Amino acid sequence: MAIHPIEYRYGTEEMRKVWDADNKLQKMLEVEAALAKAEAELDLIPKEAADEINRKASTEYVKSERVSEIERQTNHDIASMVKALAEVCEGDAGEYVHFGATSNDVIDTSQSMLFRDSIDILRSRIIELTETLLKLAEENKTNVCIGRTHGQHALPTTYGMKFAIWADELHRQIERLDSCRGRICVGMLTGAVGTTAALGTDGITINKKVSEILGLKPVLISNQVVQRDVHAEFIMCLANTASTLEKMALEIRNLQRTEIQEVGESFDPEKQVGSSTMPHKMNPITAERICGISRVIRAYVAPALQNNPLWHERDLTNSSCERIIFPESCMLTDYIVKLSLKLFNNLVFHPKNIERNLNITNGLVMAERFMAELTRKGAGKQTAYALVRSCALEAYAKDAGLKEIVSANHEVRKYLSEDEINTMMDPHTYLGSSAQIIENVLEEAKDWF
């Protein structure tokens, strides 16, 4: 019976396959096979033994059930895997399995392969999401809306700006993943405390050869483990990506609020139900799920950092923790990226509400424009600011429009004509360089992937 929601509710099949127990076992067997092959090339073990180990280093022969059965006796997962592999090898080949290695050589190297596969999936999906946002940015380059700071109406902006900002941020997240990949996806066959003592002077060569066979970069130096600062960095990359996805989803949630209702996620009225008791409800459940799960991903940063300081050449406190945080962080991050694709590929815009909200302050959001124009006309910035602020406060007090107040202000009229005031009241024409900024992002993005 399934217990954890990842087993039946959250996650994607692609990422589940990476962290599936059988796949993890397969990757460990591949490390053992690479080790045997490298050792045979240096005549440390017979070539025939290495060939047999390579033939049998597969879950086709080494079954997880058998490994688990042995582990119930040995209470050691890697020793159990080694025994299970050795016992399916013919002749005396089993005698040479795991020669010169320690458990964490296999664990850390195989985990590097899992990280590599996870990053490939994440990278591909984040690129797809970024491209979706770039398309939305281009389509909404002139879709003018009110910008908000501190939850208050500030100045006009465009939906194109919102989407372009998020695309640019996701591109940085991809760059962080790429940079981290080079540090976390490393091979390590360095022995019990990192000195390669059991392999003698061939240890450094074995470390390089095994890594090369597995398509990894060999670790430069280690003790019994690859140092956990790089694992913490990886989890922080995932957490940072999750924070970006939450930022995006949170904005859609806010924009879907009943009193705003500018943009929202799609809702199928024929099938979907918003509430078990309120028939009218259409809730932003996809965006809310993204926000909720991102909290779990970010929560794993603390234990990942705590896994770095271990006793001496290592202890076991990181192990149990990592069995949880590595697969869950990867699976949940991948899941909310996929949810984000669903969300942003099916956005629903409400143009009438966008326009209504743009003008809801009766022109007060154009105050900065008046201040800037008065300054250009010679009033001086501080004087212009004080003058427009007094007009804005008067408009608030009288529940009047800004245009009405500035038109009647004698100081303002010294600098601005009625026609100029009328022109300046149009929020659709106060967008600065926003269109060019979006174009710059779209142009830069051609070289992102």
Active-site annotation, residues: 150, 275
Distance CA 139, CA 164 (A): 11
187 forms beta bridges with: 218
Please list, in sequence order, all residues whose beta carbon lies within 8 angstroms of the beta carbon of residue 370, skipping any fewer than 6 positions away. Answer: 384, 388, 391, 402, 406, 412, 416, 424
Distance CA 169, CA 247 (A): 11
* CA-closest candidate to residue 218, choices 175, 177, 182: 182
Distance CA 262, CA 272 (A): 21
| β pairing state of 186-187 and 217-218 | parallel
DSSP, collapsed to helix, strand or coil, labels residue 201 as helix
At 187, give phi and psi (nearest 5°): -95, 145
Helix (H) or strand (E) holding 230: helix 229-255
Q: Are 186 and 218 in contact (CB under 8 A)?
A: yes
> Alpha carbon 40 to chain centroid distance?
41
Please list, in sequence order, all residues whose beta carbon lies within 8 angstroms of the beta carbon of residue 408, skipping any fewer than 6 positions away. Answer: none
Residue 218, both tokens: 């060999």
Strand extents, DSSP E, 190-273: 217-218, 263-265
Q: Are 254 and 152 in contact (CB under 8 A)?
A: no
| Ordered alpha helix ranges (H), 42-158 | 47-56, 64-74, 77-88, 103-139
Distance CA 340, CA 163 (A): 13
CA distances from 233 to 80, 107, 166, 326, 365 (A): 31, 18, 22, 12, 42
